[in-house]
Each structure stands twice: as C-alpha cells, then as structure tokens.
Amino acid sequence: MGAASNLPWIVAAGGFLLAFVFGAVANRTNFCTMGAVSDIVNMGHWGRMRMWLLAIAVAILGTNLLDAMGQIDLTKSIYTRPNVTWLSYILGGFLFGVGMTLGSGCGSKTLVRVGGGNLKSVIVFVFLGIAAYMTLKGLFAVWRTSWIDPVATNFGAFNVRGQDLPTLLSTATGAPARATQVVLACVVAAALLVFVAKDREFRESFDHWLGGIAIGLVIVGGWYVTGHIGFAENPETLEDTFFGTNSRTIESLSFTAPVGYTLELLMLWSDKSLTVTFGIAATLGIICGSFAYALWSRTFRWEGFVNAEDTANHVIGGILMGFGGVMALGCTIGQGLTGFSTLALGSILAFAAIVAGAACTMKWQYNRMLREG
C-alpha cells in the first residue's frame, strides 16, 4: 500500500525533472516549432526544422524499442486507439498552428519564454489554459463532442486494433506485429536522420544536435516514467493502474491540456481530489528549467507588449492554441513529438495540419505587411 501511494509523486517528480531538462535545453538551443516553420517560410532555412526532425527520430527509436522490449505498452496510449477522429486532428492542428504563430510560439515555447522573463507569454499561458479547460470540460467541449469529434473513422470496425502505422501495416500484410513495429520504426527514423545529417551546417552545429537528441530522449523518458515506473497494481482495486497521470494511462510530454489542469489546481488548491500530476509537474518543470538557464547564462530579460494589436494577437493565439490543441489531442510536442513517436496516423495528420496552419498564417502576415507598407 505504501509503495503504491508514493507512485503518483514519483511520476510527478519524474515529469518535473524531464521537463526541467527540456526547458533548459530548449532555451539554450532556441528549440521552437513556430520558429522552425518561420525559418523555412521566410528564409528557406531548415536548421531548426532539422533539429525538430532529429528529436522525432530519436523519440521514434527510443519509444518503439521500449515497447518492443515490453517495458511500456503503447496500445494503452490515447494516440494509438483505433478511432481516428480525423476532422479533430486536421481542424484542431490547423487552428493550433494559427494560434502559435499569433502567440509567438507553441505551448512549450510559451513556457520557455515565461521562464526567460517574457510577460507576453504569461498572458498566452493564461488564455491557453482557460481555453484548453473550456475545450476539455466547458462550453467549447460541447461544440467539440457534438460536432467535431463524431466525424471519425473507426478502424476497430474492420478488426484493426490500433491506428499506428505498424499495426495498420501488420494487419494489411499479415507480417508479425512486433517485427513490423521495429523495422518500420528503424526505417522511418533512419530516413529522418539521413535528411537531418546531409546538411553540412547542421552537422557542424553542436546546439542543433544537443536540442534534437536531448529533447527526443526526454520524450522517451516520459513514456518510461508513466508507462513503466508508474504502472503497478492498485491496492484498492487490485487492478493494474497508471499512477500520476491526468488521462489515467501512459503519457509523455504535452503542453495544452496540462496547462489547463495546472490552472485548475492553482485555483482549487484546497480541493483534496486534485493533485500534482505528471503533466502539471512537467508544465512547471519546463518554466523552471528555462528560468534556471536564463539566470545562468544571464539572458533573463523582462519583455512586454508593444501595443494593443500585439496584445490582441497573443490573446487570440492563446485561445486558438488551447481550443485547437485539445481538439487535436496535443500540441507540437504532444502530437508532433510524443504522438509521432508512436507512429500514430492521427499524430501525423495533426503534425502536418499544425505546420500548414502556421505557414498559412505567416504568409498572411507577410502579405498584410506588404500591403500596409
């Protein structure tokens, strides 16, 4: 009983430490999904995008090897379930991409910037959290569950147990499931690594390698903490349980719904039914990690809004990220890294939609600037 009762706190502590590393590394290396897309759209530079793709490759390899060795069970994650809510992935991802562009960064970048002294990101954090919670349980949840989530394709109706690419390929070809998973994970990761390493400038950049490898390993660590360390028999129900997560199942890092749960805990602290979970601890950890690095490197700077339009853009951006991120089941980290590491079809759709939403918004902003100039 005593050991099981400590597991939620052990899982939360693991989430905090992993996110602390994430925050410090992301601050140092300027790891930023919105920035990566912006570099390509505005300058044709792929450096930061290659860093993101390197993180995806590392996460895919590590995550699927853990699953193949029986250390975790990815079939329990929300990403691999057979019901593909494709409209939610595409629409939610696109809106998130629009929001992160207006808000000067995705959920993780917002937290990194908060740790670096950016007051604009504090406002984004608040509105993102409120919108996320409204989409989970409030007014926006009614719209989501009534009109958007029902538009789906359930592979379970075709006797397919998951939406991840290894399962789909194994079912279609009759190949052994475990071998298909390992081979496909290695092939996808290898293809990404070849693309990443073929650029000489990237190969010579220590920060790019550091950012991609470290953040990819953090995602793998998150799966291990929640899916292995935090998985045990519940002494009250005598059933195997995932302790310390909001979803009550295996998780890794994501920064949309956890921001909403963080605000809920802070506002209802005396409610004994609420506790610090892996996601909440990770939300706080990334801020602290970024703050620690900013102090150590003497880069901590207070930064505020320029004008009313700047304020409005960040408020709207936060709302769109909260709504879109929950609808898409994750942000650039939750779907673009954590979900992608499972090779889930929905995560790949959400990833593409986020990039498309950001790119379209950047093009719109550029054309508007030309007209006004």
Q: Sketch the domain layout of the chain as residue ranges.
A: 2-372
Task: Indicate whether 262 pLDDT > 80.
Answer: yes
pLDDT, tens digit, 9 for 90 and up, residues 157-167: 999 999 999 99
Tell me the angle at which helices 2-29 and 278-296 cross, rounded to the nearest 10 degrees. 40
**Mean pLDDT within 298-325:** 97
pLDDT for 1 equals 47
Burial (Cβ within 10 Å: 0-12, 13-18, ≥19) of residue 239: exposed
pLDDT for 67 equals 97
Among 214, 286, 283, CA closest to 246? 283
pLDDT, tens digit, 9 for 90 and up, residues 81-95: 999 999 999 999 999
pLDDT for 3 equals 67
pLDDT, tens digit, 9 for 90 and up, residues 215-254: 999 999 999 999 999 999 888 787 889 999 999 999 999 9
**Mean pLDDT within 191-206:** 96
Task: Indicate whether 98 pLDDT > 90.
Answer: yes
pLDDT, tens digit, 9 for 90 and up, residues 119-175: 999 999 999 999 999 999 999 999 999 999 999 999 999 999 999 999 999 999 999
Q: Within 10 A of 17 (CB to CB), how many other CB atoms are there?
A: 17
Task: Indicate whether 2 pLDDT > 60.
Answer: no
pLDDT for 234 equals 84
Pairing assessment for the beta strands 83-84 and 153-154 based on DSSP bridges: antiparallel
Contact 19, 285 (CB under 8 A): yes
What pTM, to 2 d.p., does this model score? Answer: 0.96
pLDDT for 85 equals 97
pLDDT, tens digit, 9 for 90 and up, residues 360-370: 999 999 998 88
**Mean pLDDT within 305-318:** 96
Using alpha carbons only, what angle is made at residue 351 by residues 23 and 259, rounded to the nearest 5 degrees? 45
Q: What is the mean pLDDT of the chain?
A: 96
Using CA atoms, how far apart are residues 368 and 69, in angstroms rounded to an integer? 52
